[in-house]
Structure 1
Amino acid sequence: MTGTLAERWRAARPKPAGVHLDSGACSRQGFAAIDAAAQHARHEAEVGGYVALEAAAPVLDAGRAAVAALTGLAPTDVIFTTGANHALDLLLASWDGDRSVACLVGEYGPNLALMAANGFRVSPLPVDEHGRLDIDAAAEVLARERPGLVHLTPLGSHRGLAQPLRPLAEVCRDLGLPLVVDAAQALGHLDCTVAPHAIYSSSRKWLAGPRGVGVLALHPDFAAMLRPRFPPSEPSAPLTVLQQLAHGESNAAARVGFSVAIGEHLATGDEDVRARLAEVGRLTREVMADVAGWRVVEPVDEPTAITTLVPTDGADPHRVRAWLIDERRIVTTACDARRAPHELTVPVLRLSPHVDVTPDELELTAAALSDAATG
């Protein structure tokens, strides 16, 4: 297929019914992923779910290999989950060490809730005035306090600020501290090939897979430190940690669709996609910089495609989001304080276009935001 990366990406999926600026919540799936999931569901009806699952093993293995390529771990280190929250809960519930965790002040709210539910004491990592991790200060804090786990979300849900993942991975490696990475917004968006102790993600965001599926990848040394609660591993039928964590019912069709989607991502070129997303973010911020009633949070050259708009004249992002959908068919995200309860103080509007967004669509959105103030 010829054309630019953006043109090829758009041609590979159904035509949008408007302007989609919501990939940070859920990207648009491609024809190949949709068809693969549907074909697997049909095969289940023809031969039975377990027979169909066995037949899908090569596709699922390829999906694990693709995840491994994006994380720096091995295909045998990867299991599928139902999503990022499920993956983190599995990991935290199985952790057999000290239940303390160091993370960013702006940590994702549901992650904090899972940490609390699993009995973890949370301490903040030092950040600069923008909320970006201060590596030197963090190294000192981690060396002194030595938490059981270090948790980093390299790209948050409420703000498009890229955190220094690779430097922190090096610090944790030098200190012998386990690093857990929430890559729900980062996988396929930022470079995550740091081979952390654990990394997890969802499928539906920048990798443009189906909803209801995610991944968890564990370094073997870290996996050996986990004690899954279920199912029990018996001497007569021993199960590995990964087998225990992966146990249970699954939506195999969604996993097949995800495997195809992440394969498409690699075929397109991870570096090329990341470069284009950085370009998209810069263009979005430039266009939105002059919209009255809103302030762009991120630096214009931040290498992410997430742009956060803070209302300056009292606009309600939730009402604006609904108006944009109803009146202009523009899909965005309204984020409230629950996204980052220790950092986000007012609701914000998030724009998260993918590689196929056009300048005309961004100009249309800017005009719509201006109209929303009087609509």
Structure 2
Amino acid sequence: MSLAEDWRSARPPTAGVHLDSAACSRQSFAAVDAATAHARHEAEVGGYVAAEAAAPALQAGRAAAGALTGFTAEDVDFTTGATHALGILLGDWQGAKTIACLPGEYGPNLEVMARHGFRTVPLPADDDGRLDPEAAGRALAEDPPALVHVTMLGSHRGTVQPVAEIAAACRDHGIPLLVDAAQAFAHLDCAGTGADAIYASSRKWAAGPRGVGLLATRPGLLSDQTRTVLSDAEVNVAAQLGLSVALGEHVAAGPALVQARLADVGARTRTLLAEVPGWRVVEAVDEPSAITTLIPPDGVEPLDVRARLIAEHRIVTTCAGIGRAPGEMTRPALRVSPHVDVTDEELGLLAAALTG
């Protein structure tokens, strides 16, 4: 079978058309069964005994996460999600509190930065919101911030950021680089970023459970105290096991094959939806991501469209409000994010529903 057929057959049938992997993808039978079996085992032998039995599988999950992010298993900690991971990084930081990020930075990330007392400074970007590495390098040299934070793939726009290039500039100036890979992990190549820390969630393109994520950090970036707190924290082992299984499935499928397929999915989605009257596709056709952002016709509210698509057509998408990127967005948009199993027929159903 093809990658798409394998991916679809490993999951329960959809109750409609799922085009919302950037919000929450569909777990496999194996990931669901792993979490369920652990919960049952906790009831049988107690939570701590069950956690000890799960340790090898969790270590395999950390090893897979390390391989996918360019770190080692020992560098990886499980978290409750991406926002939790950023809070850990910023809460542990003992240096000056200036952090450089792009104008299109994810709104909730900006809130976390503000809560931890950080002042944000802008990184230069082009009209598409893409980082300008050369200009950024000059800016870092002239007025270096304490930290640089880059969201590799936005929640509001499927533009892939040149993280490896800014990482080189950060190394030249001794500035730690933190990378939000919530949308990029298991979607793009995250192993060659050169980041000092990279964090992600489980529920998006990795197709793991909700309420769990991961944080990979170079040795010495986090304090020993914080690493100890992370290792001793009360955790949802069942969810961590579900993520570990999902990561194993992703590695077995072939990350490069998944990346190529998702790039093709994005190109086909944008090509088809560009023909829908009144709607405007934001990303270039050949942008190597599977996220497509649609600007609606004047007077049309994406939130209402999302609700109608679910109620009348059983098609799941996302309304991206301006709070997702308050420094860049001026109006809400509709976000379409199919996974590797999407069919042309399903994309056609969305195009027809938007046209109608």
How far, CA to CA, are the matches of 2:203 and 2:210 in structure 1?
A: 5
The aligned residue for residue 312 of structure 2 is 327
Residue 287 (structure 2) pairs with residue 302 (structure 1):
yes
The aligned residue for residue 126 of structure 2 is 128
Shift of 1:317: 0.2
Residue 346 (structure 2) pairs with residue 361 (structure 1):
yes
Indicate conservation of the 8 Å contact 2:168/2:194, yes or no. Answer: no
How far, CA to CA, are the matches of 1:127 and 1:350 in structure 2?
A: 22
The aligned residue for residue 37 of structure 1 is 35
The aligned residue for residue 299 of structure 2 is 314
Shift of 1:221: 3.1
How far, CA to CA, are the matches of 1:44 and 1:9 in structure 2?
A: 29
* 2:268 aligned to which of 283, 294, 314: 283
Shift of 1:240: 5.3
How far, CA to CA, are the matches of 1:243 and 1:67 in structure 2?
A: 20
Count residues with an aligned counterpart. 355
- What CA deviation, in whole Å up to 9, does each residue of 1:40-80 have, x standing for no partner? 00000000000000000011000100110011111101100
Gaps of 5+ in 2: none
The aligned residue for residue 167 of structure 2 is 169
How far, CA to CA, are the matches of 1:246 and 1:114 in structure 2?
A: 22
SS in 1 for 2:221: helix
Shift of 1:245: 3.1
* TM-score calculated relative to the size of structure 1: 0.93
SS in 2 for 1:220: coil
- What CA deviation, in whole Å up to 9, does each residue of 1:160-194 have, x standing for no partner? 00010111111112221100000000011111113
The aligned residue for residue 216 of structure 1 is 215
Indicate conservation of the 8 Å contact 1:17/1:329, yes or no. Answer: yes
Shift of 1:309: 0.2
SS in 2 for 1:222: coil
The aligned residue for residue 78 of structure 1 is 76
* 1:13 aligned to which of 11, 15, 22: 11
Residue 269 (structure 2) pairs with residue 270 (structure 1):
no
- What CA deviation, in whole Å up to 9, does each residue of 1:240-293 have, x standing for no partner? 542223432111100000000011001100000000000000000010001012
The aligned residue for residue 229 of structure 2 is 244
SS in 2 for 1:264: helix
Alignment of 1:247-258 (within 5 A): 247-258=232-243
Q: Alignment RMSD, CA only?
A: 0.9
SS in 2 for 1:147: coil
The aligned residue for residue 230 of structure 1 is none
Indicate conservation of the 8 Å contact 1:90/1:245, yes or no. Answer: no
Indicate conservation of the 8 Å contact 2:92/2:226, yes or no. Answer: no
How far, CA to CA, are the matches of 2:249 and 2:86 in structure 1?
A: 26
* Percent identity over paired residues: 62
SS in 2 for 1:56: helix
Q: Mean alpha-carbon deviation: is it higher for 192-201 or for 3-12?
A: 192-201
Specify the code of the residue in structure 2 equivalent to 1:248: A
The aligned residue for residue 55 of structure 1 is 53
The aligned residue for residue 207 of structure 1 is 206
Gaps of 5+ in 1: 227-238
